[in-house]
Structure 1
Amino acid sequence: MLTHRKVTTVVIGAGNRGKNYASYALQFPHLFQVVAVAEPRKHARERIQIAHTLSEERCFTGWESLAEEPKLADCAIIATQDQQHVQPAVALAKKGYHILLEKPMAVTEEDCRSIYEACREAGVMLAVCHVLRYHPPAKKLKELIDSGVIGEVVNINHTEPVGFWHFAHSFVRGNWGNKKRSTFSLMAKCCHDVDLIAYWMGNKKCVRLSSFGSLHHFRNEKKPKGAGSHCLQCSVEATCPYSAKKIYLDPAPPEPRWPMSVVCDIEDAPEGYLQKLKNALETGPYGKCVYDTDNDVCDNQVVNFEFSDGATATLTMVAFTQHTCSRKTEVYGSLGQLVWDESKGHIIQHYDFLSRESKIHQCEESLRAPPNWGHGGADFFLIEAFVKAVATNDKEYIISGPSVSLETHLLTFAAEHARLSGSVVRLDKDPRWIV
């Protein structure tokens, strides 16, 4: 069992992600304690209050009023919406809080740099939630690459299959469907994946990149003939794979669980949860026709990277997949290749060119994560590492630290710039993309 001093935290933003990280305190109360919450939504704030036994004085309607108080804890979990990261992160860093920051860091290059500089100047730790760096298969892949078993890495081919219904939920109807309200989909969904490619490539610098992508399908002109504006009143709903009725009501959930909890997370409605969920679908954005929203983000995109030694990588993000976020990675080296296919479990396949033999590497660390933690247990390993870093004052536990996180966010911004401009971006020639 882990042992170190108890770390205290405040939670800024009590949505799914904030509640998720805060739950570490419920499972390991001797290691971690939530002492305050800031959340404008009353029911979400009260959920944290009840779960963590907080007094009214420690429940704030916004981060600003919390920040006016004397420092209340060792660290802060910041899990607000993407465009609301920079102000609380900068303010709380200046007050001496170590920061666990949900990805993306922020939605502009300037704001990402502001967070980075504020944490550096305050001497506090910053862990951006690139949870996949803590995912056992991703770590095993890194371990195998660094061992030299496939020689020099020549190419990485990485795919993020978002999932047909997941994309409709999050990036058409949901919080990340419109760039003005959030950010572009490569940043919202795949800053994880850009970061992974940089992680696996080690100390190599990306020197050039290009990108292509579009909003191919979820557009008004592709709306089926006779379709209505809301799925529950649509005459062609039965023929649509993106139907809200199919996604959220088949089968009907007795209580909130993701993704239904995003549509409606009020558990104690007098009319019952199912009726409350149906009401939300009838009147809210998650029940709208996917061809009839204000979404404007790419549903498919590719990014091509060239590194300082001539190695290359390709990232593909695509909405239209059977599997949901079951990433697949192929690493091609001079002496062999490695394959990670998340849909097949937590294993890495290694093929050796010299012996012409294959070997399966198991990711035993996966067994250590308690059940029901997101991203295949990676969320657990991230919060565990962050809490340990704060408890021991040792930032080496954090493998998604400020400098590397800023660098991979700048790579993601550069990729979107390349897509929009139709150009090849020379990262080594422009200070805009350099940490």
Structure 2
Amino acid sequence: MHQITAVLVGAGARGRFVYGAYAKKYPEELKIVAVAEPNKERRQLAAKDYGLSSDQLYESWEQILTKTKIADVAVISTQDRMHYAPTMKALELGYDVLLEKPMSPSPIEVIDMANASRKHNRLLTVSHVLRYTPFWSKIKEVIESGAIGSIVSIQSSENVGYFHMAHSFVRGNWNKSEETSPMILQKSCHDMDILSWLIDEKCTRVSSYGSLLHFRSENAPDGTTLRCTEGCAVERECPYSAIRIYEEAETHEWSRFITNDITPEGIKEALRSGPFGRCVYHCDNNVVDHQVVNMEFESGSTASFTMSGFSHDISRTVQIMGTLGEIRGYMEKNEIVLYPFGKKAIEIPLTVEEGGHGGGDEGLMREFLKQVRKGNNIGGQGLTSAEASLQSHLMAFAAEQSRLEGGNSVVVEELNARYTCSSADELSFLQLHIASTEIII
């Protein structure tokens, strides 16, 4: 096992607390040799975390991804709408790439990135971490054993958690779809990916409903203020109180995401002046807080998915109904029960792993580095390659189109064909423009 070197593009929450943390925990496997991050404070923290000098720190991806390749892999964990350009440049330079999900909120860019992975013969692994968890891996294994026969229908739920909803999608970085991604893509492309993987067929049709129902100014209780710190009359009773979630919490699990200074004074200042101290009813959010999606697959099997920001915990549950049996699972409890028809129920044992997403974060990193060492640099390979992720992204795009159209059924292949043609047309235009420019010069 030889050490893989990496450039880290984006040193925010995922960059520092997942990919960077893996390098610190397993230095014999991964070494970060350069970081690109526009925030000066985060760059300084990266220098301390990974032992970097000033000439290994960059303010932008353009600076770090120059004409010279300086590491084995590029880990890209920028904001959603900043994935495309650095990914395309890294692939062109010969980097194997680990890309934070979603690939992009633009279908054309998603298709382009998958094509670029094949063109440059490089790995492009998308961080659909659920596939790497013991929980979902075991469910996939049971399905492939034939224990429940052919899949007829799946019911899946993502319980976002009321505090996570408020943190990330009301107050936080992903609260406006035009700046990041629609909720079904940003938060639930994991779930679209899992459904696609378990059924192992192309999704043919999608319909969806959802809205921003609760976190609106007209739903604010009497006596609320613009910030929880400004003497709100109902702050003590409000479950979304920023003071309760961040300042009075027993641990810094959530406060570490709102400030790099997690002292009491630092947290208090972040709530007083930063976005996370705002009242949830007086933010600039527009992403949905609940959504349902219905899907049909090639064989006629179906799946239904529910995402809700109104749950007491962060969890995922699933019910998989087959011709010979049924599987029920609760991810956060690592509980899987097989119900073979006409026989006794069987509890499936699981090995519990540490780390985020039920061990999926570390599982993703291990598998990606293993592929890099093997030299399997062929576009399309890998458990969560760009090619595999394209299907789940198309499902999410179709769901959002259906939701915006009032629940109309969207044919996924028609959506794919339209954007594939658009991508080809755009590429042809760019090539023609470049050629014309060269002639003029």
TM-score range, shorter chain: over 0.9
In structure 2, the residue corresponding to 1:328 is in which secondary structure? strand
In structure 2, what is the Cα distance between the partners aligned to 1:432 and 1:266? 47
For 2:418, give the aligned amino acid: R
Q: Letter of the 2:54 partner, please give it.
A: E
Match of 1:270 in 2: none
User: Match for residue 405 of structure 2?
Assistant: 421
Distance 1:379 1:102 in 2: 11
Cα distance in 1 for partners of 2:236, 2:335 equals: 38
Q: 1:397 to 1:362 in 2, by over 3 A?
A: farther
Contact residue 205 and residue 412 of structure 2 kept, 8 A = yes
2:261 is the alignment partner of 1:266: yes
TM-score (ref. length: structure 2)? 0.91
Aligned residues: 415
Structure 1 partner of 2:340: 352
* Mapping of residues 244-393 of structure 1, within 5 Å: 244-251=242-249, 253=251, 257-266=252-261, 273-324=263-314, 326-343=315-332, 345-355=333-343, 357-364=344-351, 366=352, 369=353, 371=354, 373-393=355-375
Equivalent residue of 2:152, what SS? strand
Contact (CA 8 Å) 1:427, 1:433: kept in 2 or not? Answer: no
Offset at residue 397 of structure 1 (A): 7.9
Per-residue Cα deviation, 1:243-263 (whole angstroms, up to 9, x for no partner): 11111122265xxx4321121
Stretches of structure 2 that go unaligned for 5 or more consecutive residues are: 422-441
2:147 maps to which residue?
149
> Greater shift after overlay, 16-25 or 394-403?
394-403
Residue 22 (structure 1) shift: 2.1
Residue identity (%): 38
**1:258-292 Cα distance to aligned partner (Å, 9 max, x none):** 3211211235xxxxx21111111011111111110
Q: C-alpha separation between the residues in 2 aligned to 1:428 and 1:116?
A: 17
CA contact (8 A) 1:410 1:434 kept: no
In structure 2, C-alpha distance between the alignment counterparts of 1:259 and 1:227, rounded to whole Å: 23
8 Å contact from structure 2 (residues 108, 419) kept in 1: no
Shift of 1:434: 7.1
Which consecutive unaligned segments of at least 5 residues does structure 1 have?
Answer: 268-272
CA deviation profile, 1:37-78 (whole Å, cap 9, x unmatched) = 101111211222112111211111111111125100010110
Q: How much does 1:428 deviate?
A: 3.3
CA apart distance, 1:342: 2.1
Q: Which residue of 2 aligns with 1:207?
A: 204
Counterpart amino acid of 1:212? Y
Q: Is the 8 A contact 2:123 2:381 kept in 1?
A: no
Secondary structure of the corresponding residue to residue 229 of structure 2: helix
Mapped to 1, the partners of 2:419 and 2:112 lie a distance apart of 15
Residue of structure 2 in register with 1:5 after alignment:
2
Indicate yes or no: 2:166 matched with 1:180.
no
Partner residue of 1:111 out of 109, 112, 136: 109
Contact residue 317 and residue 329 of structure 2 kept, 8 A: yes
**Shift in Å, 1:392:** 1.2
How far did 1:121 drift?
1.2
